[in-house]
């Protein structure tokens, strides 16, 4: 979604990590798949993010990868 708005992912991550959005994950992205465990609320939020991006014709590789790697199909609402 960042690139669809005209900003590179690297630039976005630099800005994110200088803001209150900074987190353990954002500072270490991409993380090795073996370290990811995603449950509950983040699953719901990532699925909604992916759905919102699809509505405007944009892919969301980061949350999609997180879901594929760490979330079970029964975790959180599907949309």
Tell me the C-alpha distance between 62 and 49, whole Å.
Answer: 10
Residue 6: which region, alpha, beta or left (left: phi > 0; alpha: psi -120 to 50)? left
Nearest-Å Rg of the Cα atoms of the chain is: 13
pLDDT tens-place string over residues 20-72: 888 877 787 766 656 555 555 577 888 888 999 999 998 888 788 877 776 65
Rounded to two decimals, the pTM is 0.45
pLDDT for residue 79: 46
What residues have CB less than 8 Å from 77, skipping those under 6 apart? 44, 47
Whole-Å CA distances, 30 to 12, 26, 33, 61? 14, 8, 9, 11
């Amino acid at each position: 979604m960042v690139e669809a708005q005209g900003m590179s992912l690297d630039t976005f991550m630099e800005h994110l990590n200088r803001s209150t959005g900074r987190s353990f994950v954002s500072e270490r992205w991409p993380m090795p798949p073996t370290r990811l465990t995603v449950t509950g609320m983040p699953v719901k939020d990532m699925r909604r993010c992916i759905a919102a991006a699809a509505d405007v014709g944009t892919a969301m590789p980061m949350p999609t990868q997180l879901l594929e790697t760490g979330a079970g199909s029964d975790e959180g609402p599907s949309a």
